[in-house]
Chains A and B, each alone.
Chain A
Amino acid sequence: MSEVYFSGSNSRTMFDRETDAAAEVFVGLLKVFPWARLEDYFSVSSPVYHEVLRDQVVTCCLPTTWTRRAIGPECILGTRKFCLEGATSFLRLYKIFEKAKPEWMPQSAQILFEGTNHAELMRPAPTSIDGFSDLYFKGNADEIEAAFDLPQKRGAYETFYGATVVNGQLARIKQYVYDTQGGFSDWDVVWMMACKHQSKQHLLGA
């Protein structure tokens, strides 16, 4: 089970923790972050250049039991992002999006989650993390590709999108492509379930 996202000429693959690919990535990670533990995560991504952080970033997904214990039940997912060249790290926390849709979003776009960045105690974080966040959405692929001038990249099973917003302005769009159903492919199902769990049924009618 894996996912791939594309951002311009950059792409990133997410691997299950038990795979050889994840282990290989982690060997490199440990050289910069000797305190990291593979068993703390359920998935590990390939390194990818992050256009806003301007660094190679590895994303590791934390189990929801940890995230909910550390943050609270409103957190759908938590990831720890490791910036390899700067030797910094931070947490990205994903919650149900409840704000007004930005005007630059296409009409069909439905924003599901917002990911915000947070420093951790005693772990140096990049200085720029407070200045940007990400919006994760779905919508009509034709309209979205046209609105953001994206190449046609669509999964046989599902396609989702991520928008990185820096100081309120769109900085980049990521295309998440899924050809088969798997552990990362059903954001909309998780979103629906989370709305019900968190008594936010009013969002389901939107």
Chain B
Amino acid sequence: MFNEKELEKIKAGKQKWAEGTLAKTLSKAPEKKAFTTWSWIPVDTLYTPLDIKDMDYERDLGYPGEFPYTRGVQPNMYRGRFWTMRQYAGFGSAKETNERYRYLLSQGQTGLSVAFHLPTQAGYDSDHPLSMGEVGKVGAAIDHIGDMRILFDQIPLDKVTTSMTINAPATVLLAMYLCIAEEQGVPFDKLGGTVQNDVLKEIICRGQYIFPPKPTMRLTVDLIEYCQKYVPRWNSISISGYHIREAGATAAQEMAFTIADGIAYVQACIERGLPVDSFAPRLSFFFNAFTDVLEEVAKFRAGRRYWARMMKERFKAQNPQSMMLRYHVQTGGVTLTAQQPLNNIVRVALQTLAAVLGGCQSLHTDSFDEALCVPTQKAVTVALRTQQIVAEESGACVTVDPLGGSYYVEYLTNKIEAEIDDYIKKIDALGGTLAAIEQGYIQKEIQNSSYRFQKEIDSKERTYVGVNKYVMEEPPVTDLLKVDMKVGEEKAKELKEWRAKRDQAKWKKALDNLREVSKTDENVMPAVIEAVKANATVGEICDVWREVFGEYRPKEFIS
């Protein structure tokens, strides 16, 4: 990218500067410490072309919308269309959540993102003993298609795309969504959205797994295969790094382990007999955005370049769409503090900037009361406005990849890409992602980073505003959103009625059919759709699978 003579001149010039101008300042006052990025990548005082001298513009950067996509997956990014503003939301009953959805859409949100309460995510109905105390707490209580109908009341599924954070039971909730679309008269090929459908990360760090790895991968691929045929605009998986980062991983680890999971999913689909270009274009991703803006931007760029090259070289993808790292971002929940919550608005603003400068396709911004409760309406409005302000007022969207060419950002991009490569090689040597997870390699790496971070906070080596520096006495926060235990009681009553009123013969037939299909190699989706239409509940369907597949008890790694 730079010619030899120029580089020589710069080398000499930098040395002169270091030994003269800089040295004079340093002799008066040494630097505060050895600086690093948030994720411990060592950072120098100054970056120049010397630090990226081996780069080749065409090979390493190229043009947005073209391989290797470093600068962006779309040719003109936000000049054509902003990212989808998609706030993850859900709490209490389907009705309350539907109200929040309609509010957010009225305030300018451009896509929906469904939060299901933990029982749904874990495959239990609201009246299961293990659901006690959990109903409606961190998401909407959705047990059956009736709840789903209420959830999407007055929401046109041909005009709104929906992302559903659901993993092990993803087939069930997708089946419900498809049925609702059918009721609204929307053909499947017009439906757009995403299901998370990523159980590997559940095993690594999120805990919402149900069945053992092999059968759960079968369900994952069944869903991908089904969508590929019948719901072509649907992103059938959202391979997630967000939670990996929340669990303590560094930026490079977040990207590396997500890509490792991606490799496992691509592998599984190929083993099913699906040609790579037939499904890879609909793989999507989900990442985090922390407060070190420049590191995050570098991370996203490194991830795009690495994925593109990997898909081409390892899996021989030919369709450009197969090589694009398209992703949703959520700002880092774990970075927000309970102390001085208004400070979180600033953090989220910086993280939004990072996500946008990094080139995301979709974004959720956290609310400032994140560390206290599920977002209040007031807080979620500020979060949405943050996106809108960055979009309209910050200048970050007027050109593509504005930080491209920054010596520091290109240096960091290269550095993170190299770290990603190291991790992938390591994981390959262990026998692949599934083996690495089974041996606890990924979990331990994450835990060690988490530990290192905590030690720095405890020792104050790392400043955290409001937590270990600039601490204040504060009055307790009021007006928090709390979900009543009544929601659980009402749902349990409702479920009793639901089960009594449905056509018992039809229901039994559907579940029996599901059981039989699950024992074979057949794609389960049609049977799931039938079961859902027969008014079977999430818990009942998952219980059939618990019977057929067993329950997973992973080895927990604690270092």
Same complex origin of A and B: no
Residues of A within 8 A of B (CB): none
